[in-house]
Structure 1
Amino acid sequence: MLFESARISFRKMTLEDIPIYHSWRNDLEVMRTTLPMLDLHTFESTTDFVTQVILGSPTSKSYLILEKETQKPIGITSLVHIDPKNRNAECIIDIGEKAYWGKGFGKEALKLLLDYAFLEMNLHRVSLRVFSFNENATSLYEKLGFKHEGRSRQAIFREGKWHDILHMGILQEEW
């Protein structure tokens, strides 16, 4: 099926999902590899973010990643900055439940998202950005066929050091 694989399924995020997303957004270990600036968020600011950015943007599609057997939300994945004229989008993935890290759930989710992007939305190109210190994610993206397209040198200051942001992309014909 389109929005499910062997172990996971996708569903649209709703306002009822704000508490789980808020818990991920305030877990600094989860957000360490995601947000350009770590901070703690109020429930109100998370609600505003979800309603305006995740649910309210006409140029994005976001899905909760559910562990199929239990229907437990384990993360979120999105296509953002969707440009229908040029058939481009940027993808984002966060596995918020740490018990699911390193078990292939991110790879499974990204495969579903890319199938949707290329086989249903008919996008030509999907890009992403990843912090240079996130070697596990970079390796996953390379295995899925993403190519290195550039880097923003010393663009993020994390844990007392400067790090690059890597720019990667994959074309429909490469998928």
Structure 2
Amino acid sequence: MMNDECVEIRALEPEDLEYLYKWENDMDLWDVSDTLTPFSHFTLKKYIDNADKDIYETKQLRMMIVRLEDNMPVGLVDLYDFDPYHMRAGIGIMIHNMENRKQGYASSAIRLMLDYCFETLGLHQVYSSIPSCNIASLKLFESLGFTQTGYRKEWLKRGDNWEDVIYFQQLASTWKQS
């Protein structure tokens, strides 16, 4: 468990099942999560039951973001494509409910996760791929010192349209300076 004055990020617990079920099946979020089909309670319960496995085994880590003032889960922060040889991982964030956005929860959670990545896991870099229409996430990652390092034209299919993706990267050497 890691925290600052605003949020804590912690491992998934069995009592998080209903939050995961609601969030993973919210079709408004499927574009950012690349979800194409709903998740069952059974599948998500198995996922939580296996959440105790080591990041070196699963190559991913999902943490619950909890608002400290009332101990309410507000979102998730994920590490994915963990590569211990090349010392890198991808990072993603989801804050559910509009009233929980623009409150500093996402930036706090990412800062905590970056500290974990660079100080505990010893990673060299953390990266993120963000759809070009997700202006809030683009601004968030830029505000945290991530550098834009790539652009993929028409990378994601959205219905009958295509969307570009922008790649961002944070190096341990520049994070420690901030």
Summarize the Cα distance change of 1:165–1:45 in structure 2 as closer, same or farther, 3 Å threshold: farther
Q: Which runs of 5+ in 1 are unaligned?
A: none
Mapped contact 1:8–1:109 kept (Cα < 8 A): yes
**What percent of counterpart residues are identical?**
23
State the TM-score, normalized to the length of structure 1: 0.87
Mapped contact 1:24–1:97 kept (Cα < 8 A): no
- Corresponding residue number in structure 1 for 2:19: 20
Is 1:41 the equivalent of 2:35?
no
Distance across 2 between alignment mates of 1:124 and 1:43: 36
Distance across 1 between alignment mates of 2:143 and 2:149: 15
Q: How does 1:86-125 map to 2 (within 5 A)?
A: 86-125=86-125
- List structure 1 runs of 4+ shifted beyond 4 angstroms: 48-52, 54-57
Distance across 1 between alignment mates of 2:36 and 2:48: 17
Q: How does 1:1-175 map to 2 (within 5 A)?
A: 3-32=2-31, 34-51=32-49, 54-56=51-53, 58=57, 59-158=59-158, 160-175=160-175
Over the residues paired in the alignment, what is the CA RMSD in angstroms? Answer: 2.0
Give the Å deviation of 1:169: 0.8
Alpha-carbon displacement from aligned partner over 1:100-146 (angstroms, at most 9, x marks no partner): 01222111111111111112222110011111110110111111111
Alpha-carbon displacement from aligned partner over 1:10-55 (angstroms, at most 9, x marks no partner): 11102331211110111222344x2224443332333345456x55
Mapped contact 1:36–1:156 kept (Cα < 8 A): no
Summarize the Cα distance change of 1:49–1:158 in structure 2 as closer, same or farther, 3 Å threshold: farther
Distance across 2 between alignment mates of 1:55 and 1:138: 31
Summarize the Cα distance change of 1:48–1:158 in structure 2 as closer, same or farther, 3 Å threshold: farther
Distance across 1 between alignment mates of 2:61 and 2:150: 25
Deviates more, 1:34-43 or 1:16-25: 34-43
Number of aligned residue pairs: 172
State the TM-score, normalized to the length of structure 2: 0.85
Summarize the Cα distance change of 1:21–1:101 in structure 2 as closer, same or farther, 3 Å threshold: same
> SS of the residue aligned with 1:76?
strand
